[in-house]
Amino acid sequence: MKSLLVTAVAVASMAPCLWDSDTLDTELRGLPEAFDLVVGKWHRHSEAYYRDRVERLGAQAELSLAECDDLAVAYEHLGRRDDAVAVMARKADLLAAAPDAEHQYRYHANLGTFYAHTGRFEQALGELRTAVALNPDAHFGRENFQIELLEFVASAKVDPQLWSRFSFLRHAGYRVRAHLGVDGLRYAPDASRDWSADWSGARELDWDKAYKAVAGMLRFGGREGPELYRSLAELFLAKQHLNLAWWALERAIERGHRAADLLRAGQRSIERHWTEARKIQRTGPVAPTRAQVEDARARADAWVAAFQQAEAAAIRRGDDVQGDLALKALLQAADAATGEGDEGPGVSSRGAWALGAGLAAGAI
């Protein structure tokens, strides 16, 4: 296979998932609400959290298999990727001496992710395919989508026009019933009609599974890739969740998507739909202003910063920040510091924009 060199933009377009001792607990708490996911309002551990982990585990002469994962992922979050790969070599030695099926999977999953984040696609795909073969249902089946994302980004390096022609889901052959084309937003033909070449995906898409995969890669991947936001927008569009789609497109553009002009055309299509709807209904959603977009993003960033500041302060005090009660206290501290709060289940704790688009609470 031809060796592929990857630009920073291409690497940022994908975000395979990491696995450490925090992963399962966090996954069991569920994904952020839809609007919070789009604007980036969910907790990420602070640098202090990962530095503390490196200081504790890096000084140990011997590590358990789980501690290898914790240390390697901490290095990854601190940008010390060579150190992360070196820890995986130590884990490989431990596994050779005492095989463990679950940790063999985690070894390949983490190593593949480290390789992916450096653009070493051939090696990343090999490791991730091995991980999936060992444990097809890990991460709730998400790693199959990770592989398809990497295959798309690799292909787009060879043919950059792919960025505008496909999302990674459509490139993988799924029938995604919404498409952002050069002429704006289009929906798939009626199911009773033949699919044209442009809609020739042979694989039926399980929307719920795809949403959990794309949202999970954003939440757990360690990077917020623009291609993931574009694909998230297509998934929202397929369900006619236009306002969430508009915001997801905005986030993809903000993150530097290579097909930004096309995504802007998609936003304009949504805005035209709203304009036509208001003519008939005399009321309805309007596109957020630039000030409103910036305010929503600033609120999300401020909340994340408040969480990380509270966590760093707790670590300096010597507090244990690992358990559920500790996390709950840190989340409450972030809410109190920013005036945010949990207003109950739904699209978002601060989801006025999503609800204003006519999306019923709890629809996602």
Who contacts 115 (Cβ-Cβ below 8 Å, separation ≥6)? 121, 123, 124, 127
The SS3 assignment for 363 reads coil
pLDDT digits (tens, 9 = 90+) for 88-107: 999 999 999 999 999 999 99
Q: Cα separations (Å) of 121 from 147, 151, 155, 329?
A: 10, 8, 10, 40
pLDDT digits (tens, 9 = 90+) for 288-331: 999 999 999 999 999 999 999 999 999 999 999 988 889 899 99
pTM of the complete model: 0.84
Render each residue's pLDDT in the chain as its tens digit; 364 residues: 333 333 334 444 444 467 666 765 565 467 889 999 999 999 999 999 999 999 999 999 999 999 999 999 999 999 999 999 999 999 999 999 999 999 999 999 999 989 988 888 899 999 999 999 998 876 666 888 989 999 999 999 899 999 988 899 999 999 887 777 666 666 655 443 444 445 456 788 899 999 999 998 888 776 678 999 999 999 999 898 999 999 999 999 999 999 999 999 999 999 998 999 898 888 888 999 999 999 999 999 999 999 999 999 999 999 999 888 898 999 999 999 999 864 433 334 444 444 333 332 223 2
Distance CA 362, CA 364 (A): 5
